[in-house]
Amino acid sequence: TQLLEQSPQFLSIQEGENLTVYCNSSSVFSSLQWYRQEPGEGPVLLVTVVTGGEVKKLKRLTFQFGDARKDSSLHITAAQPGDTGLYLCAGILTQGGSEKLVFGKGMKLTVNP
Amino acid sequence: NAGVMQNPRHLVRRRGQEARLRCSPMKGHSHVYWYRQLPEEGLKFMVYLQKENIIDESGMPKERFSAEFPKEGPSILRIQQVVRGDSAAYFCASSPGWGNQPQHFGDGTRLSIL
């Protein structure tokens, strides 16, 4: 069972276009993180959202956390070839004295020049 | 480089052999997590350790897999009697503590089973 569903799973666009990737769950998370992963490397943290309804901006990237803290979105404005990569959302799951990340399957983005 | 260090980056083993994957956390981090990533999949949690303690191993297969984080030295993920299905990228992450702390990832070990 996939706790976090990401959509779309694949996206190929032209340089300059905008895009939005969604991360949805039926579970409530204490916080949600977005990572970007390039081939042969580990995920790199982009942002952590904690408060329901929170919006964070990182240059051309805008992250939003749903009011109920079950979903999130990442919007990229004017995509560039350097944005190509795998975008992963991950929720922090806290239970029974443990804390771990639950990942979605990711959205593989290709930005063509 | 003060980041999370994993070695080896690539490991090839034959079926039935043992694989040992090492992870040195970031300086000052005492919490270590191991995740496995299959092709076209997200990362799946395996185990969460603090120094000398296993906190949560709910994602670890019941047999052949073990993990440790000794008082001195790196964390080790050990896979005994490897099978083809163990082929994957194994990532280690570390954090300074509990409570929504960001986890910083290493670049992983790519395990291939012949």
**Average confidence score pLDDT of chain B:** 93
Inter-chain CB proximity A92 and B98 less than 8 Å: no
d(CA A82, CA A52): 30
State the CB neighbour count (10 A cutoff) for residue A103. Answer: 25
d(CA A73, CA A22): 5
Backbone angles phi, psi at B69, to 5 degrees: -140, 90
**Residue B42 with chain A: CB contacts under 8 Å:** 4, 6, 88, 90, 103-106
Question: Does residue A84 have a pLDDT over 90?
Answer: yes
**Residue B30 with chain A: CB contacts under 8 Å:** none
The residue of chain A nearest to residue B35, with distances taken between CA atoms, is A101
Q: How confident is the model at residue B81 (pLDDT cuts 50, 70, 90)?
A: very high
pLDDT for A1: 54
Inter-chain CB proximity B107 and A45 less than 8 Å: no
B18–A contact, CB cutoff 8 A: no
Instruction: Looking at A1-113, list the stretches that DSSP marks H as alpha helix, in order from N- to C-terminal side.
Output: none
Beta strands, E only, B1-114? 5-7, 10-13, 19-24, 31-37, 43-50, 53-56, 65-68, 75-79, 88-95, 104-105, 109-113
Inter-chain CB proximity B42 and A88 less than 8 Å: yes
Name residue B111's amino acid: L
Helix H or strand E encompassing A14: strand A10-14
Q: pLDDT for A21-79, tens place per residue?
A: 999 998 888 889 999 999 889 999 999 998 899 999 999 999 999 998 889 999 999 99
pLDDT for A30: 81
**Residue A50 with chain B: CB contacts under 8 Å:** 100
User: What is the gyration radius of the CA atoms in chain A, in angstroms?
Assistant: 14
pLDDT for B95: 92
Q: Cα dist. B45→A52, A62, B56, B58, B71 in Å?
A: 25, 27, 10, 8, 23
Inter-chain CB proximity A96 and B107 less than 8 Å: no
d(CA A82, CA A48): 22
The pairing of beta strand B43-50 with beta strand B53-56: antiparallel
Query: Mind telling me how many Å the CA of A6 is from chain B's nearest CA?
Result: 10
Structure tokens at A55: 């919006």
Average the pLDDT over B24-33 and give the result: 93
pLDDT for A2: 60
State the CB neighbour count (10 A cutoff) for residue A51. Answer: 10
Structure tokens at B109: 């070990």
